[in-house]
Structure formats: structure tokens, C-alpha cells
Amino acid sequence: MIIDNCSILSGISLNKLTSDEIGIQGISYYENRLVLRIPYLYINKMMKNFTVTFLVFLGVSYQSFSQNPLVIPSTLNGTNINLTLQNGTHQFLPGAITNTNGANGDILAPTLILNQGDFVNFSVNNQLGDSTTIHWHGLHVAPENDGGPHTAIVPNATWTPSFTILDKAATYWYHPHLHHKTDMQVSKGLAGLIIVKDAEEAALNLPRTYGQDDFPIIIQTKDFDANNQVMHHSNSDDVLMVNATIDPYLDVPSQVVRYRILNGSSQRAFNIGLTANMTFQQIASDGGLLSSPVPLTRLLLAPGERAEILVNFTGMSGQTIYLESFASELPNGIYGATFPGMGAGLTMTGYNPNPLNGTDFNIIKFNVGAQTGSPVTTVPATLATVTPIPEVNSNITRALTFAPVTMGMNQLNGEFLINNLSYNMMFVNYTIPFNNTEIWQLTNNSAISHPFHIHDVQFYILTRNGVAPPLNEQGRKDVVLVKPQETVRFITKFEDFANSSVPYMYHCHLLKHEDGGMMGQFVIGPEIVGLQENDVNNLISIYPNPSNESVTLDFAKATFDIKSVVVRDQYGKEIQSLNVGSIKNHYLAVDVSSYSSGVYYFSISGENTSQIKKFIKL
């Protein structure tokens, strides 16, 4: 559609703006006036460039949204948490009401406040009329309690996991995880925060009164169709909201305020900052407090990531400060930048025009007011003890490479693979020995950034392209953004839970990519018990030993089905994983010619047992 005669106060007069250029999303007729629905963000973007007024011209009036008070999700705490997943409706936009999903309400889900050490019983009743799962993102729980795609809750059923909260104080979240339906159910509104408290955090002088000086900030973008219904797997997410509130404001006290920020968007990354580059302090990453506050003016937050920040508003009563995304500063190759791929020629269906891509925009307005009683007015100098795992402890490095299904100019619209594989619920990508310490090396050979997430564990980033990560990434993490042509290495330990039947997931947290198969799964198998021969009954023989070129493993007397054979050096580092498919007539031939001379151990595992044999390479 074309609008004639639109005048702009700066003196520039624009004629024939297209609806794309001013972002008209809807049009209706109301009280003899034509009402154009122009989202706040478009207005916001135009306001950054010029002051716009085209309120009434040629009988046309425009309607934007007035500022709305930020909705603060309700809370649930204690050791019995009851959630009912339900369909609802929400008036996001003028006109048609939007169909939504929520827990204990129409949209979003209550903030769960849990204490480390508590044994908590959950009851999740599914009234969605469709199967779903609920995954506790970031929590360290047994695989059967993790709510991955294998743990579906069918309609009308109630899922009742119970587990001890083992996590450190931080901000986690929960959301559906049914394969192919994660984006749809999350985009329709199913997502909530989890705040874990512990003694170490409680001892610090930090703001922690929920809704007074400690606020949840769930940032999401959505795409609405012409009937105001939420689209999923869309690249046209141009409506921004915080806690499901479009164009929000929040009254905050003039003291130190804590924000628990979750990027709950399906794809969009935010480059967070404050008005006039005011400094804020990041105090926690995904899975715990940092060792000390990290002063920042920008914070890149990818989907799935959380950050707790402190903003010191002391002495600023009466002022207005915006939390913004400085997306104009995002390098290309990140969803949210001017170009979502590394090259300007790479396009994404529906990505443009969108006022959020590559331009700066406001996320929420803070009106600074009076102090609360006993305010926190200073930021603590130190926070928590962070104990990264030393790199030498690693037993194995696993290399994971991300690539598009088809390379080339259209690659951003295709699906993405990890090590050339798409997710298969029936295929276990890795069996990880219980208590193993591992380095995962993630290499992105595609033109777009992927936020990689792994279940079960928190990890420590060792390097980004060989260099130590910035200070605010030197804490516990469960999501890491891997940029095009970047290699990220992290270290973690798979402890406390083993279960060879229910897998844990790892995947890209761009929900379109995840639903499209950019995911894998692992089970935790038996522990590798020391590097000592334990085959006391000589069930397995190995000959010749010592040897120089090749050896034969003989399983004739083995009393279990051979599931894996792994060769380790004397330090326990994995040298080779042998193909058990090539066992013929209970013999497996192994070429050891490339091994350097020394002591090796063959660990031969069945479902619940493993035998270790020593071997010497001459």
C-alpha cells in the first residue's frame, strides 16, 4: 500500500512511503478513520532518525502503542511445584486476540524460586491438547528428569519428576522441548524463569527482592500474522516484548537494581546496553555467579543465554534510562545484524525489512524513582569462588563441526548439521563414560552464528579461536555463541547421573535450527574405572602383545555383547574408538602401526560392564 502526503517534522517531507518502509502491520477502519497499525519499534526506529508526525492526514490516523507497565511473572516456591500447561489468549495487538500457551495462566509461566539442596516434587499437567515436554534448561538433573524430547507428556497426562536442586545460585529457565514443536510452543508463550538460591549468594550484599530491586527480564521477539497469530520458524520477528509486555516501562528505585535477563527469543541476539553508554556490572553468567562483577557497556546475549546484571541508579531519581539493543554494532553473521550471514549476498527469507535488524532500538524504559527501605547502594567487589576445570584433566576432545545442509548463497534458509548428521531420536551420537572430563571443540563452518547448548552440565569456555574468552564468559555457561569460522573449546565433567537408556541433548538454541535437526544426543555409560586391567577371568584375549603392527582382540569367551572398544593411552586419553561393527567371528583386528611406543589400554564395554586390557606397543 502507498501513503501519500506524509510529513515529517524535521522538514523532510516524504511522499509515497511504502508500507514496508514504515512497517505497517495492520489496517482497520474505526470511527470514520483509517487506523494503521505501526508497531512501536518502527516508530522507535524512525524517532531515532527524525521526529515523525503523521497523526492525521487525509483522514488517516495512526495508532501506536502507549507505554505499558512491565508485567512481572508470578512466583512459585517451596518443594512442591504444580504447573498446568494450558491454552489461552492474550491481547498483544489491537484487533484480533492472539492464541497463546502458558503455565498456570494464559502466557509465560511462573518464576520458580528454588533453593540449592532442596528435594523438589514437580507436577506438570498437560492441558495443551497436544503432546509436549518441559525441560529445565541449565539444571543438572538425571536424564529421565530433564524433559528432553524422549520424555513426552501426552495430552491430559501429568508428569511428576522429583529431584534435588544441585545447582549454584543463578537464573535458569524452563520451556517445552518436543522434537519439531519446540519453537511453536515456546513462541506461543511457554517459557518461565527459574531462580536458584544458595548460601554463597545469600551471604553477598546483593539486591534480591523479587519485583522490587530484583527483576526478571525475558526478552523475546515474535512474528504475528495478519490475524495477529504467532508464527513460528519465522525470520520476520518484528514485535519485541519483555515478559510478554510490548513497549514496556518499569519503575525502579534509585539504588542498585538487579536484572535477570533471559534471551528467550527463537533466533534473535541482542547487543544490550544502556542510555548514554551507562556502565552496568554483569554478576552472573548462565549457571552461576562470576568471581567478581564485570563492568560492561555492551552485552551480547544469544538465544538461551542468561545474564544477571546490576545497574546502580543511586542519585538518579527522576531520570529515565532505556535498556537498548545496539544491533547496529553487531557484526554480520549474527541473527539480528544488518546481514544474518557473513556475506551481504547471503539472504534469509523474510529477514528484511525489519526495524530490529542492524539498527539500535529500545527494549524497556526504566523510570527511576524513590529508594526502597534498606536499599543496596554499592556493588560488591567480589562475588563467588569460580573453579574452572583444568585443561589437563580432560580425558578426550570431541570435535563437533556445524555446517549447512547445502553450502552456497541460499545456505541460511536450509537446515544445519552437526558432524554431517541431522538429529535422529533413535541414534545415540555419543556414549560418554560416567565421570568423564571432556573438551568439546565446536567449529562453525556455516555463515551464521549458532548458540550451542548442552544439557546435564555447566561448562567453562577455554578458548575462542585460541584466545581466552572475555571476563564475563569466564564463569559457568550452558550456551555459547559460535560465530562463523570460529572454533570454541569448552571443558566440562559428566558426573552424578548415568543412565544408558535416556539421552541428554546438545543443540543449536536457534529454535528453527533445533527443530530442523541441528541437535544430537548422548547417554552416560559406565565409568572407566582406573587404568588397570580388570579382566581377571581373561574373558578377552589380545595377541600378539607386545606388538608393533597389528593385534587381534578375541572375544570368544566374552559373556556380554560388545558395545564399544576404546583405546586409551597411559594417561587415560582416548586414542581411538574402534568400530565394533567390524568384529568378525568374535575377532577384531586392530592396526596399531601409527601408535607411538608405550603402554595402552583397551577398554571393552557392554551395556553395564567394561573390561580393561593392557597392551604394549613396541
- Cβ(615)–Cβ(545) under 8 Å? yes
DSSP per-residue letters across 217-280: EEEEEEEE-TTSPEESS-S---EEEETTEESEEEEEESSEEEEEEEE--SS--EEEEEGGG--E
Smaller CB separation from Cu ion, 70 or 334: 334
Is there binding between residue 365 and ligand C2O (CB under 6 A)? no
In terms of Cβ atoms closer than 10 Å to its own Cβ (0-12, 13-18, 19+), residue 298 is middle
Q: Which does 289 bind (CB under 5 to 8 A by kind): ligand C2O, Cu ion, none?
A: none
- Residues across the chain: 618
Closest residue to bound ligand C2O by CB: 137
Is there binding between residue 140 and ligand C2O (CB under 6 A)? no
Is there binding between residue 453 and ligand C2O (CB under 6 A)? yes
From the list 90, 177, 181, 232, which residue makes contact with ligand C2O (rule: CB under 6 A)?
A: 177
Is there binding between residue 417 and ligand C2O (CB under 6 A)? no
- Cβ(487)–Cβ(441) under 8 Å? yes
Smaller CB separation from ligand C2O, 252 or 505: 505
Backbone CA torsion sign across 527, 529, 534, 540: positive
Q: Please, how many CA atoms are within 13 Å of residue 604, restricted to the half-sphere of its CB?
A: 26
Binding string, residues 398-437; x marks residues near Cu ion by CB under 5 A: ----------------------------------------
DSSP alpha helix (H) spans, 506-606: 511-515
Smaller CB separation from Cu ion, 140 or 258: 140
Backbone CA torsion sign across 116, 117, 118, 122: positive
Among residues 362, 338, 248, 261, the alpha carbon closest in space to that of 302 is found at 261
Q: Which stretch binds ligand C2O (CB under 6 A): 233-241, 505-513, 532-540, 554-562?
A: 505-513
Q: Which stretch binds Cu ion (CB under 5 A): 258-266, 383-391, 508-516, 519-527?
A: 508-516
- Cβ(274)–Cβ(280) under 8 Å? yes
CA-CA distance, 55 to 60, in Å (whole number)? 7
Is there binding between residue 150 and ligand C2O (CB under 6 A)? no
Is there binding between residue 617 and Cu ion (CB under 5 A)? no
Backbone angles phi, psi at 511, to 5 degrees: -65, -25
Q: Which does 613 bind (CB under 5 to 8 A by kind): ligand C2O, Cu ion, none?
A: none
Return the residue matching grid coordinates 565433567.
493
From the list 507, 512, 513, 613, which residue makes contact with ligand C2O (rule: CB under 6 A)?
A: 507
Is there binding between residue 304 and ligand C2O (CB under 6 A)? yes
At its nearest, how many Å lie between ligand C2O and the CB of residue 307? 15
C-alpha cell at 197: 538460591
From the list 150, 197, 258, 450, which residue makes contact with Cu ion (rule: CB under 5 A)?
A: 450
DSSP alpha helix (H) spans, 36-166: 40-49
From the list 513, 568, 613, 617, which residue makes contact with Cu ion (rule: CB under 5 A)?
A: 513
Q: Which stretch binds ligand C2O (CB under 6 A): 14-22, 377-385, 501-509, 533-541?
A: 501-509
Is there binding between residue 137 and Cu ion (CB under 5 A)? yes
Task: Let me know the angle formed at the C-alpha of 156 by 154 and 162, rounded to the nearest 5 degrees.
Answer: 75
Is there binding between residue 509 and Cu ion (CB under 5 A)? no
Smaller CB separation from Cu ion, 258 or 450: 450
Is there binding between residue 489 and Cu ion (CB under 5 A)? no
CA-CA distance, 512 to 497, in Å (whole number)? 29
Is there binding between residue 181 and ligand C2O (CB under 6 A)? no
CA-CA distance, 610 to 525, in Å (whole number)? 10
Q: Which does 188 bind (CB under 5 to 8 A by kind): ligand C2O, Cu ion, none?
A: none
CA-CA distance, 44 to 327, in Å (whole number)? 14
At its nearest, how many Å lie between ligand C2O and the CB of residue 141? 13
Q: Which does 508 bind (CB under 5 to 8 A by kind): Cu ion, ligand C2O, none?
A: Cu ion
Among residues 509, 497, 166, 165, the alpha carbon closest in space to that of 306 is found at 509
From the list 137, 150, 258, 512, which residue makes contact with ligand C2O (rule: CB under 6 A)?
A: 137
Is there binding between residue 455 and ligand C2O (CB under 6 A)? yes
Q: Where on the chain is the footprint of ligand C2O (CB under 6 A)?
A: 135, 137, 175, 177, 304, 453, 455, 505, 507, 509
Q: Where on the chain is the footprint of Cu ion (CB under 5 A)?
A: 137, 450, 455, 508, 510, 513
